[in-house]
Homo-oligomer: A and B are copies of this chain.
Amino acid sequence: MAQQYFAQIYVTLRPSVLDPQGTAVQSGLKHMGYDNVEQVRIGKYVEITLTAESSEDAKSQLDLICDQLLANPVIENYRIDLKELSTSMNIGS
């Protein structure tokens, strides 16, 4: 039976990669008076709702989606938090 899942995906630059966008934000904050901000790193946050047979199935599909589309594995890392949505959905089962 297909189950609905909600995934929260965090795509961040690898620590060794420079983050010009983060540096720009930090510099902007400094100009606004926030001298106590030491580092800013900016990433992407993606929420995906999908149906899958199992959480393992959902997880492996999301890994592929991240590698193929959402993240650039050369310079970015990603982390996936997966939640099963309540089984109020019986469509197609």
The A contact surface, by secondary structure, is strand
Tell me if B49 and A37 are in contact (CB < 8 A): yes
Residue A50, interface by CB 8 Å: yes
The minimal Cβ–Cβ distance linking A29 to chain B, given in whole angstroms, is: 6
User: Looking across the interface, which residue of chain B has its beta carbon closest to that of A19?
Assistant: B47
Residues on B with beta carbons closer than 8 Å to the beta carbon of A69: 25, 28-29, 32
Chain A residues in contact with chain B, CB under 8 A?
2, 4, 10-12, 22, 25, 28-29, 32, 34, 36-52, 61, 65, 68-70
Residues on B with beta carbons closer than 8 Å to the beta carbon of A68: 32
Residues on B with beta carbons closer than 8 Å to the beta carbon of A46: 22, 25, 40-43
